[in-house]
Chain A
Amino acid sequence: MSSIAQKKGFGATLWDYLTTVDHKKIAILYLITGGFFFIVGGIEAMLIRIQLAQPDNDFVSAGMFNQIITMHGTTMIFLAAMPLLLGFMNAVMPLQIGARDVAFPFLNSLGFWLFFFGGVFLNLSWFMGGAPDAGWTSYASLSLASPGHGIDFYALGLFISGFGTLIGGINFLVTIINMRAPGMTYMRMPLFTWTTFVASALILFAFPPLTVGIVFMIVDRMFGGNFFDHTMGGNTIIWEHLFWIFGHPEVYILILPAFGIFSEIFPTFARKRLFGYSAMVFATVLIGFLGFMVWAHHMFTVGMGPTANAIFAVATMAIAVPTGVKIFNWLLTMWGGSIVFTTPMLYAVGFIPSFVAGGVTGVMQAAAPLDYQLHDSYFIVAHFHYVIVGGVVLGLLAGLHFYWPLMFNTMLNEKLGKITFWLFFIGFHLTFFIQHFLGLLGMPRRVFTYVADQGWDSYNMISSIGAIFMAAGVIVLVVNIIMTIVKNEKVGRDPWGDGRTLEWALPQPVPFYNFKQTPLVRGLDTFWIEKQEGNKEGMTYAEPVGDIHMPNNSFVPVVISFGLFVASFGALYNGEKSWAVPVIILGLGITFASMIHRSLKDDHGYHVHKEDLLDDKGGKH
């Protein structure tokens, strides 16, 4: 392969993306797939709000409604929010620490394709007899009783995509530990890298319990394993524990990287160093740590007894402290700065009151006896949407606008960006603020309809109107993206003008090997330091120009993942169709054969030669 620039046809581009191991391209794959599932989950959300706009509505049937809410939650968490965050981690983190790629480029690709096939498999349930319908939490007694194959799609789909996520997390951990540029000490790492680091550690510890739970579920449903069948000595509460031991850290897996994005945006657009950097790092680590001690706050009404409830209540409240530290540090970052309201900054500024609102209702629910009232009511629906939408989604949208020029060398339209923000922001508060009151007025969550005149009718209508605003905002965003791609106006290096960290110091488009010479990091906000000292290159180098060792592209990750995808269909119809077992064997055969192929065939990669690098074309691919 040569590094000489060439124009490629569609087929070649497609093949390039199918086989790529470049973290920047994998980031784009995550962005496209995650964006697609975000739209799918959004459509499901709209269906929910249409159904609930009026009492006694029959827009969708009861059974269909349960499928929609289950898939809305599952899709948004596992197939939209997480992949989009993994996309930004891929796009930004290696550049932030001065690395040429992640530690295991091949695994990076495998992680994506596992997620991809898992997500596709899960969504195929819509066309193959019905989607899962036991809620995204899939509590055991209900999920075991659920007829059809919906729950099997859920368990097998998440099993596959969960592996992808776990692989991604491990990869990022190793990358951050081992591949930082000289001078990039832990306490000089940008906050987004820090939050990626902690979130990856959370993935490492949180996904195994989920996987265990899901495997139990699969065995129960496929072979009558009785892990959760209480009449056979099983126990359904175990599922709840396993799920939430994963589920609570999952919230932080989502929100910490969003915090990281905001921690990059505030200093950039306030032109001021992040206030209390070390406190921010400490708070991130502490949140990650405490995040594993509080899962049972989702189970206050399960009947664990007062001692367990009291302990988990107090532990949960404790998390508010480091979170509060972060909020105040962001405020003080703006304080005394020079704030400019670009689209990313608007999102960041809009995030603070939204997330504070979500945080305080979290503390209310931490008070166990009060939670007996709030739990499983619309109050909790309001609360977690304030955290997930007001925190994570605003973070994703902020990151999309902020990092777009880094990823594509073009800039999303600021005017449309601001329209999206206002539509989405107003719609979000309109939809969810009022749901707090619905909960207090006695409306349980996950109801497919409600009888009129219980005091809920107008509130539900308002909530549904808010959802329309959010949808309009997303439509404007899609238009914006299409326009930007069509116009294709290049913006070059450091497009925001006030980039502070290493990723903005790179030439645009970023060369496929990222750094011609490994940079020497001389402090926090290294690009800012170089700029202040008048260094036009934006970087000090730690090495002379030399050959760069690069990995080869590979189609094997797609094949490995595809094999599991095939095997899942066999597992799904096991005991029902005669072809089920052969299909399982075939699928696993594909997977193992391609793994053996990968293990036995040496692939030493290739070198980009010094001469090509010095020749100016070296920068392009």
Chain B
Amino acid sequence: MMKGIKKWRLFSLLTALMVFLSGCGEEHLSTLTPAGQVGRDQLDLMVLSTAIMVLVIIVVMIVYVLAIVKFRRSKVGENVIPKQVEGSHKLELIWTIVPIILLLILTVPTVVSTYKLADVSGMDTVDAKGNKTAVTVNVKANLYWWEFEYPDLGIVTAQELVVPTQEKVYFNLKAADVKHSFWIPAAGGKLDTNVDNLNKFYLTFDNPSESLQDGVFYGKCAELCGPSHALMDFKVKSLDRDDFDAWVADMKASKEETPEGDVAQQGQEIFNTSCIACHAVSGAGSTGGVGPNLATFGDRNRVAGFMEHTPENIKAWISNPEKHKPGNLMPEPKEINNGKDFTDQELTALTEYLMGLSVEE
């Protein structure tokens, strides 16, 4: 009776654990909730391999449990000398051949999908007018921020990647300083950004990211790149093709404008003396910024890639970048502001100005 209760308790505990584990995580971040075909292919492979492996585990566990239950010395008898069996060719053949067959089943989709996911020939397809049909993004990984250049569209942005849905989006990946790795878990597996060479691959997004918790997918740096590796996040906004085209047009049109309001105008002045050497504020252009392009700063989801997008955090970040992202290359205020820290008033002005940088109306 007691034993029965104990068993039942254990069972309910296990069930609770299973339910707990069966959650697939956050839709904007989990590999278990793929956002497009690439992620789905990889999840399919995971399901197939898991199924095969669970089969193996079940067989092993049956033999295992039977063996340690049936043949314990207390059951067999203290002084029994078991028969010294040498082996069995038949059994050995079975457990050699069956795994080979199981692995072959896994090998075929593995190889097929390896080639499929590496096919970037669509990158160079052109329409009748000679324009590229697909969107290609040049990703440059820096300590600790991401630059996204759209070479065929003549625009560049940072920290927040914008992609069209329902089509293959191609990526050229490269690192500017040390090796990083470009990973959008919900969209598909990662590819390293090496310092030596350009890596190419593609991802797909089914739906606009609008409906997600923060309206964006989460991207991560997946290769140890220094102290702030953990904070090298970026965000991905997927838009329907029409919205994407509109965004591109806005980006192209964005240029340095005089902001509205005195505070913001003062902020612009400070920016133009202290910050502009590294940060561009126009989305039209190409790669090459020392620091992240800020044309879309007001539209962004995060400050410095990971902090909540609030005026307090912008001020905190500007006044002490090293504290928030150890090892990052943004200068301390003293180095860019004539040896002085920014005053509260200056920080407020800068924040006001930065929040106004937007291409989305």
How many chain B residues sit at the interface, stated as a range, is: 35 or more
B residues in contact with A178, CB < 8 Å: none
Out of A301, A363, A448, which one reaches B106, CB within 8 Å?
A: A363
Can you list, as one digit per residue, whether each of A51-93 has a CB less than 8 Å from chain B (1) or not (0)? Answer: 0000000000111011000000000000000000000000000
A310/B111 contact (C-beta < 8 A), A134-B224, A301-B192 known: yes
The answer, yes or no, to whether A450 is at the interface (CB within 8 Å) is: yes
B residues in contact with A520, CB < 8 Å: none
Can you list, as one digit per residue, whether each of A328-348 has a CB less than 8 Å from chain B (1) or not (0)? Answer: 110110111111110000000
Out of B60, B64, B103, which one reaches A320, CB within 8 Å?
A: B103
A133 to B327, CA, bound (A): 13
Q: Which of B26-34, B234-242, B280-288, B348-356 contacts A (4 or more CB under 8 A)?
A: B26-34
Tell me, rounded to whole Å, the shortest Cβ–Cβ distance linking B32 to chain A: 6
Chain A contributes a number of interface residues (CB within 8 A of B) equal to 89
B189 contacts A372, C-beta separation under 8 Å: yes
Out of A314, A335, A341, A450, which one reaches B107, CB within 8 Å?
A: A314
Closest to B72 in A: A339
Interface residues of B in 12-59 (CB under 8 A from A): 21, 23, 25-26, 29-32, 39, 41-42, 45-46, 49-50, 52-53, 56-57
A373 contacts B42, C-beta separation under 8 Å: yes
Tell me, rounded to whole Å, the shortest Cβ–Cβ distance linking A430 to chain B: 11
A303/B82 contact (C-beta < 8 A), A145-B177, A353-B61, A441-B32 known: no
Out of A142, A325, A338, which one reaches B82, CB within 8 Å?
A: A338
A262 to B188, CA, bound (A): 40
Q: Which of B86-94, B248-256, B293-301 contacts A (4 or more CB under 8 A)?
A: B86-94
B185 contacts A442, C-beta separation under 8 Å: yes
Closest to A314 in B: B107
A63 contacts B96, C-beta separation under 8 Å: no
The answer, yes or no, to whether A481 is at the interface (CB within 8 Å) is: no
A residues in contact with B31, CB < 8 Å: 373, 440-442
A142/B224 contact (C-beta < 8 A), A353-B64, A368-B114, A454-B26 known: yes
Q: Which of B128-136, B215-223, B337-345 contacts A (4 or more CB under 8 A)?
A: B215-223
A364 to B223, CA, bound (A): 20
The answer, yes or no, to whether B191 is at the interface (CB within 8 Å) is: yes
Out of A62, A237, A368, which one reaches B227, CB within 8 Å?
A: A62
Tell me, rounded to whole Å, the shortest Cβ–Cβ distance linking B153 to chain A: 25
Tell me, rounded to whole Å, the shortest Cβ–Cβ distance linking B38 to chain A: 9
Closest to A362 in B: B53
Tell me, rounded to whole Å, the shortest Cβ–Cβ distance linking B24 to chain A: 8
B32 contacts A440, C-beta separation under 8 Å: yes
Tell me, rounded to whole Å, the shortest Cβ–Cβ distance linking A568 to chain B: 25
Q: Which of A153-161, A274-282, A382-390 contacts B (4 or more CB under 8 A)?
A: A274-282
A455 contacts B87, C-beta separation under 8 Å: no
A310/B110 contact (C-beta < 8 A), A303-B191, A440-B25, A441-B26 known: yes
A364 contacts B49, C-beta separation under 8 Å: yes
The answer, yes or no, to whether B181 is at the interface (CB within 8 Å) is: yes
Closest to B60 in A: A356
The answer, yes or no, to whether A521 is at the interface (CB within 8 Å) is: no
B residues in contact with A592, CB < 8 Å: none
A356 contacts B57, C-beta separation under 8 Å: yes
B92 contacts A276, C-beta separation under 8 Å: yes
Q: What are 12 A-B pairs with beta-carbon distances under 8 A?
A: A141-B179, A301-B191, A303-B194, A314-B110, A338-B80, A356-B56, A367-B110, A369-B117, A375-B190, A377-B222, A440-B30, A448-B230
A interface, CB within 8 angstroms of B: 61-63, 65-66, 133-135, 139, 141-142, 145, 230, 235-237, 270-273, 275-279, 301-303, 305-306, 309-310, 313-314, 317-318, 320-321, 324-325, 327-329, 331-332, 334-341, 349, 352-353, 356-357, 360-361, 363-364, 366-373, 375-377, 434, 437, 440-442, 444-451, 454-455, 532
